[in-house]
Structure 1
Amino acid sequence: MGQLERGLAPDEKLLVNRHTHWKTLIGPVGIAILATAAAAALIYFVDFGGNIFKIVVGALWAVALIWFLVAPLIKWGTTIFAVTNRRVMYRTGVFNKSGIDIPIARINSVQFRHDFIDRLFGAGTLIVESASDEPLEFNDIPQVEKVHNLLYDELNDALTEDDDAK
């Protein structure tokens, strides 16, 4: 049982639990490959300063790898979008965690948007309008249309339950 499941209320059911789409890692992986190729080329082809130059290039490569690949991987791994039968949750962070919960009963409308690239990858942006001033946009949600439909169904069920209670 994960951290998210332990934080649910006794009668709350987890319906969707996803990281952001893996396409967010394409840029960092591409940069890491380019940095590795550049560092290898410098070490192999440039004969300057001997071993000191190679150590400096290796250190710069390691810093670039941590900055451009490891940090985005950790951010991706710790960013979670979830939907339960009661709320929409978004969590992110390793050391400094932040999150937002939107009760299903407070949601006014649910929209999704995905451009051509998002459609190729099967991702998109989910837009949730609640009682707050601005709609919240959750970017790079995998299978955004399915999540949209599920959230809409839960919203409809919540409204029906409210009408039945009156």
Structure 2
Amino acid sequence: MAVSSKLLIEGEREVLTVRTHVKALLVPFVVLILIAGAAGFTSAVTSGTVRLVVIVVAVLILLWWVLLPFLRWLTTTYTITNKRLIEQTGLLTRSGRIIPLSRINDVAYEKHLSDRILGCGTLIVHDASEQEGMKIVDVPQVEDVHRQLTTLVFSAHHPDSESDERI
């Protein structure tokens, strides 16, 4: 469960929680391999101050280009409940955006060729507010998420109709 129970309102239950697709970590992974290899080789063939400088620079690059993107990925979640769509991000300072399902006007998705190969896509949610719609990039299994969210939005707009209890 990604959303703390103290953030849920009465009668609300979590339906789905996702992070962006793991493909978001591809560049940090490549940087990790390249910097570790280059720093290891360079520190093996040098000594003294040069070795220390190489190690310090490598650690700084790894912190900035590997650890920070990983922490951003790890701490950003998108949760769909039976009443709201909740975006949460941040490690030290948590921030987020909440859209009640009853205010959502449109739910769409996009899949580029690479997204189709990797099984992800972009979910676009427009709501009845002056804010720009929520665009969630690299959602795993975006068609399933789109279908579940659309069903919940329909149920929120038409509470008298039968809802799909499998969700």
Q: Same fold (TM over 0.5)?
A: yes
Alpha-carbon distance, 1:118 to partner: 1.1
> 1:5 touches 1:14 (CA, 8 Å); kept in 2?
no
Counterpart of 1:132 in 2: which secondary structure? coil
Alpha-carbon distance, 1:103 to partner: 0.5
In structure 2, the partner of 1:121 is 118
Aligned mates of 1:88, 1:127 — CA distance in 2? 12
Q: Is 1:33 the counterpart of 2:50 in the alignment?
A: no
In structure 2, the partner of 1:16 is 16
Aligned mates of 2:161, 2:143 — CA distance in 1? 27
In structure 2, the partner of 1:105 is 102
Matched to 2:135, the amino acid is E
In structure 1, the partner of 2:129 is 132
Alpha-carbon distance, 1:5 to partner: 3.4
Aligned length: 161
Identify if the C-alpha distance between structure 1 residues 7 and 90 changes in structure 2 by more than 3 Å, giving closer, same or farther: same
> 1:79 touches 1:92 (CA, 8 Å); kept in 2?
yes
> 2:3 touches 2:79 (CA, 8 Å); kept in 1?
no
Counterpart of 2:12 in 1: which secondary structure? coil
Matched to 1:75, the amino acid is R
For structure 1, the 5+ residue unaligned runs are none
Write the mapping of 1:1-166 to structure 2, written as runs, cut at 5 A. Answer: 3-45=3-45, 47=46, 50-133=47-130, 134-161=132-159
Deviation readout 1:142-163 (Å, 9 max, x if unpaired): 1111010001101111122168
Alpha-carbon distance, 1:17 to partner: 0.8
Aligned mates of 1:121, 1:150 — CA distance in 2? 20
Alpha-carbon distance, 1:2 to partner: 5.2
Aligned mates of 1:101, 1:2 — CA distance in 2? 14
Counterpart of 2:29 in 1: which secondary structure? helix
Aligned mates of 2:106, 2:141 — CA distance in 1? 18
Matched to 2:20, the amino acid is T
Identity score, percent: 34
Q: Which moved more, 1:32-41 or 1:143-152?
A: 32-41
TM-score by length of 1: 0.89
Identify if the C-alpha distance between structure 1 residues 5 and 143 changes in structure 2 by more than 3 Å, giving closer, same or farther: farther
Matched to 1:87, the amino acid is R
Matched to 2:79, the amino acid is A
